[in-house]
Structure 1
Amino acid sequence: MNTVGKKGSLEKRKILYIIILLIGAAARIYRLASAPGGINQDEAFGAREAWSLLHSGIDSFGYSWPMYLTTWGSGMSVGNSLLMLPFIALFGRHIWVFRLPQVIVGIATLMAVEKIVKETIDEEAALWAMFLLAINPWHIMMSRWGLDCNLAPGFLIFSLLFFVSGMKNERYYLLSALFYGLSLYCYATIWPVVPFIVLLQGIYLLYVKKARITKWTVASGLLLGILAIPAFLFLLVNKGIISEMVTPWLSIPKLVVMRDSEISVAGMAGKMKNLFSILVNEYDGCYWNSTEQYGMYYKCFLIFAVIGLFYCVKSVYKSLKTRIYDGYVLMGIQFLTAFGLGSLIYVNVNRINCIHISIIVFMAVGICRTLRLLRKDLKYITEVTVIVFCVLFLSFEHFYFGVYANNIGRMFQDGMEQAVEYAESLAGEDDTIYVGEGIFYTKILAFSKLTPEEYIETVQYTNYPAAFLDVSQCGNFVFNTPLEGNDGIYIIDLTKQTESCVDMGYTVEQFGNMAVVYK
């Protein structure tokens, strides 16, 4: 009887696992090309650099296979662009193609979180953590557009997954080291975090005698060290200690402006206040990161994360006192190091993205603990709780693909891809294409036929040197040109155009919120 009951329980768990995974995948894939409509300027620059590397093996500043992109002048992590390469090679330059790496990592993260929590805490909390992450507004929104830094949470989770697996089979420590090393190329802001995570996790396992120094742990340390060498050299180059390094297969560039002063112990009180404000309000003012209506975690449920954190602290204390391994400690390290980062820089939702998954896991723990206390008196409390979250999720999806899609489409300038392609099809070899005001040059470059070599030869900056460079023209594109009735081909944002283009004598081809007008 017990065997039959256990088998039935396992089958039920598998079914729930598959349902949660399918829900999570659907929420991240459905209407990927049109929601969010248009393209963000950073997303566009990452896509442009990916195409440049695929086309010519150089970035927009002429560096061959750089370990860090110069982009705006103050740089961008290269990881997301590199992951775009095979998809652009297969499917061409389209918005949904640019977003595929983030979507795939986002879906894989659901499975990784379930496995980690199952191994470190318990099976019930694991399914809750997977479910909460699958329907989480922040993670859904993050997974649906290609901002470079948003790869970091997934890669840190993959690293932790293989670290946990390494306690059973030491060979997995190599994969953990690989992903920790690769995470350095997802987001430079986590560079101070990764060494502390690895160090604290390693010291803890040695302390509770769950690990020992072997050929596998030494090899893993060496692998992580090798992967970190380019990042270390990058810091030396941009501190002016050594000259930049350029080879046909790897470049260590010197940025126009290095923003390393953003990470500092100065003003920690203000930075922590800012962090608390973002976590409590679940909003940072950036509509593409989270919304006031739903926040990052559906608002008002953060109390469960506090409960989960309490159990984590209690378990950490007990484990350190008794020197008996407890998986809570590993999740506590993720939270602690991320919280430390938030005290060193002024963050927004995506700049502190390494903290959110640990909070969601604590929320799952808090819900599990609460439900266990209430089940005796409230028979269907678990089912009711699931229904509440499902209703919230459906409400969020309705909002996301309705009101939010319309709003973000205006912000991200929906129709950009089609407008650039159409304008270039109209223009002759010597024709100028004028780009209206309020349109980032990176959005044009993401879809333009202008080659990397042509861009480098013709680009003219308006504010060089600067951390965020602006371009007046490149190739046959001239930027920030007001529409004043003159002849020519124009790409304009209709939401910023107050006068009627038709009344001004133009032929108008509209693409979403964008238009190509000409006469």
Structure 2
Amino acid sequence: MVYFNYIATGLIAVFILIAALVKKRRPLSERFTRLIESRRFELIFVAVLLLGAAALRLIGLSELPAGMNQDEASIGYDSWAIANYGVDRNGYHNPVYPVAWGAGHGPFYMYAASLFIKLFGNSLFVYRLPQALLGVLSVFVLYLLLKKTTDRFTAYIGALLLCVSPWHIISSRWGLDANPAPFLILFGLYFFVKGCQDKKTWSYALSAALFSLSLYSYASTYIVVPIMLIILVVYALVRRYLTVKQLVISGVVCIVIAVPLAMFWVVNLFKLPEIHTALFSVPRLTALRSNSVFLPFDQEFFGNVLKNIRSLFSLLFSYSVRELHNIIDGFNIIYVFTFPLFLLGGFLSFKRAIKLKSDRFDFAMCAWFVAAFIFSLIVRQNINRINVLFIPVIYFVAVGIRFLADRQRELCAVVLCLIMAGSGLFVKSYFGPEYRQQIGVQFMHGFGEAAQYADSLDRNTVYCADRYTDRRVNGGYLLLMYYCKVDPTRFNSTVQYYNNDAEFRFAKSFDRYNFVLPQDMTADEYQDDVFILPSDYANRFDLRYDIKQFDNFIVVSRSR
């Protein structure tokens, strides 16, 4: 893939120079333009695109990524507890913002998953299903948005790029609280643009509701959405797309939906008493994550911002694998070799956006990009935190491809062939056995089945490896709770933490489950207990023990 990226990047850079310098243009033919503008072609293209998007995001959803991430286990358990008991694992009734590990996680995905669990029962497939469906829907909504803001061809290309984007496929297949954030912003932006075009108040009100809802997904939206809305609203008022009355109505909708979240932050920032009502509760976190997420505002702040600018482009287009759960080496967010198209498309979009008399709506995506770019400079970057930047990036690549199509259609066709070839290589890698095995190790594949088996044995205590005894097992206590369906009341009344007031709390024990491994697990005092351990612990036990393997984990118990 390395050489493919080098060659493809070079070719695309040359293609852009040719398209810019050669005076004789060869745009899309009139016959082809009529074809793609036809209603029949649109229906067929969109149907095939959505079927492809659904296949890439739904097939084998419970098996890939193999296993379950610790954050998935945290949100998944709280989702199951809310669906079945009305409280999370910390005992809060319908929390506005769940305490989770201690510093909380976004509530949107927890409640979305709890609804699906309530309807369809608890399984890893059902837990991941809301995110997968949001991923498919976002492909369709991006098409609708670009059809309104640009032209039919760019809309087709943009939706196709999102459909085959490695980041988008991977993020649609596992349930992290941060993953829905860019999709909800996209939905809000679509209805804002729709309001600009049809002047309907309900479009603006629905847009405001979706933007407010996005605030419940992940903390990145606290900065991105306000900056984005300020730019959009000012632009819409200047262009007279938006009336003061519509602004007030939308503002009221936005505020009403955001009030519970505002209450939560007032309680936590000012350390006020918790709030408990018949409908919901407002808990206090053990710690705020601002120090571990945002760059400290000290003498090194501006130097760190400059480093973030460099690392941002590295992350987008030359990022080495450090987050296997978000990207695969060589493919990145939207294929490494599209970097020249991103630069070109960004330049063209901003050039059009600053022309207030332009009928194009490039300002919408440019506003999103500016807001997300500002946010990405002031945080400790990782893909989950700055995923709000990626849909505008994909849009700029689509605009760059449109530039080629307007000037040299043959070169545009070659670029599309390169992208489809890259997507084929990605699908082969992602769904292949090597990645499945690698992500299975990281997502602790086999732990859930091992926990269920150990829990079914009639033994006194279940001893389980976790982060403080084996760093390869992160959040083992939550995985056990999720797979064994532990009563949240029983957990909350018996749990003892290593670090009760920390940002990330880890259980030492609860009920009959213990996460401190004995120094000598073969001592006679543990003969009536059962152990859940990484598979390489097997050589520590002799023939007196029954050892049952579940991929990366084993369950060990002494024979009776």
TM-score by length of 1: 0.93
Equivalent position of 2:258 in the other structure: 228
State the identity %.
30
Partner Cα distance (2:163, 2:180) in 1:
16
Partner Cα distance (1:330, 1:175) in 2:
16
Within 5 Å, give how 1:232-243 maps onto structure 2: 232-240=262-270, 242-243=272-273
Q: Deviation at 1:500?
A: 2.7
Within 5 Å, give how 1:323-472 maps onto structure 2: 324-375=358-409, 378=410, 381-402=411-432, 403-427=434-458, 431-436=460-465, 437=470, 438-439=472-473, 440=475, 441-472=477-508
Deviates most, 269-278 or 359-368: 269-278
Equivalent position of 2:221 in the other structure: 190
Tell whether 2:43 aligns with 1:14. yes
| 3-state DSSP of counterpart to 2:337 | coil
Q: Deviation at 1:331?
A: 0.6
Q: 1:308·1:365 contact (CA, 8 Å) conserved in 2?
A: yes
Paired residue type of 1:367: I
Partner Cα distance (2:489, 2:363) in 1:
51
Distance 1:241 1:209, change over 3 A: same
Equivalent position of 2:106 in the other structure: 77
Equivalent position of 1:510 in the other structure: 549
**Alpha-carbon RMSD:** 2.2
Equivalent position of 2:7 in the other structure: none
| 3-state DSSP of counterpart to 1:248 | coil
Partner Cα distance (1:308, 1:161) in 2:
20
Give a deviation string over 1:4-55, Cα, whole Å, max 9, x none.
9569833223222222211111010111111101000001100011111122
Choose from 86, 96, 105 the match for 2:134: 105
How many residues get paired? 507
Q: Deviation at 1:90?
A: 3.1
Q: 1:136·1:296 contact (CA, 8 Å) conserved in 2?
A: yes
Partner Cα distance (1:234, 1:302) in 2:
41
| 3-state DSSP of counterpart to 1:466 | coil
Equivalent position of 2:170 in the other structure: 141
Equivalent position of 2:282 in the other structure: 252
Gap runs ≥5 in structure 1: none
Within 5 Å, give how 1:90-169 maps onto structure 2: 90-167=119-196, 168=198, 169=200
Partner Cα distance (2:275, 2:122) in 1:
30
Give a deviation string over 1:63-108, Cα, whole Å, max 9, x none.
1111111111111111101001122123332211110111011110
Partner Cα distance (1:109, 1:229) in 2:
27
Tell whether 2:127 aligns with 1:87. no
Partner Cα distance (2:127, 2:386) in 1:
23
Give a deviation string over 1:152-201, Cα, whole Å, max 9, x none.
01100011111112221321112111111110110022212212222221
Choose from 325, 330, 337 the match for 1:300: 337
Q: Deviation at 1:57?
A: 1.5
Paired residue type of 2:230: L
Give a deviation string over 1:392-436, Cα, whole Å, max 9, x none.
2121111111211110011111123322222221135xx211112
Partner Cα distance (1:244, 1:183) in 2:
24
Deviates most, 497-506 or 44-53: 497-506
Paired residue type of 2:416: V
Give a deviation string over 1:236-255, Cα, whole Å, max 9, x none.
21122532212231122111
Tell whether 2:236 aligns with 1:199. no
Gap runs ≥5 in structure 2: 1-29
Partner Cα distance (1:449, 1:369) in 2:
54
Q: Deviation at 1:277?
A: 2.9
Q: 1:271·1:347 contact (CA, 8 Å) conserved in 2?
A: yes
Give a deviation string over 1:329-381, Cα, whole Å, max 9, x none.
01100000000101221111110010000000110111111232212xx3xx4
Deviates most, 18-27 or 110-119: 18-27
Tell whether 2:217 aligns with 1:181. no
Partner Cα distance (2:448, 2:538) in 1:
24
Partner Cα distance (1:241, 1:450) in 2:
31
Equivalent position of 2:509 in the other structure: 473
Equivalent position of 2:240 in the other structure: 209
| 3-state DSSP of counterpart to 2:454 | helix
Partner Cα distance (2:286, 2:455) in 1:
31
Equivalent position of 1:49 in the other structure: 78
Q: Deviation at 1:509?
A: 2.4
Tell whether 2:321 aligns with 1:291. no
| 3-state DSSP of counterpart to 1:406 | helix
Paired residue type of 1:270: K
Paired residue type of 2:334: Y
| 3-state DSSP of counterpart to 1:492 | strand
Partner Cα distance (1:7, 1:114) in 2:
14
Equivalent position of 2:58 in the other structure: 29
Equivalent position of 1:273 in the other structure: 310
Partner Cα distance (2:296, 2:310) in 1:
14
Equivalent position of 2:12 in the other structure: none
Paired residue type of 1:370: L
TM-score by length of 2: 0.86
| 3-state DSSP of counterpart to 1:491 | strand
Q: 1:460·1:473 contact (CA, 8 Å) conserved in 2?
A: yes
Paired residue type of 2:62: A
Distance 1:40 1:13, change over 3 A: same
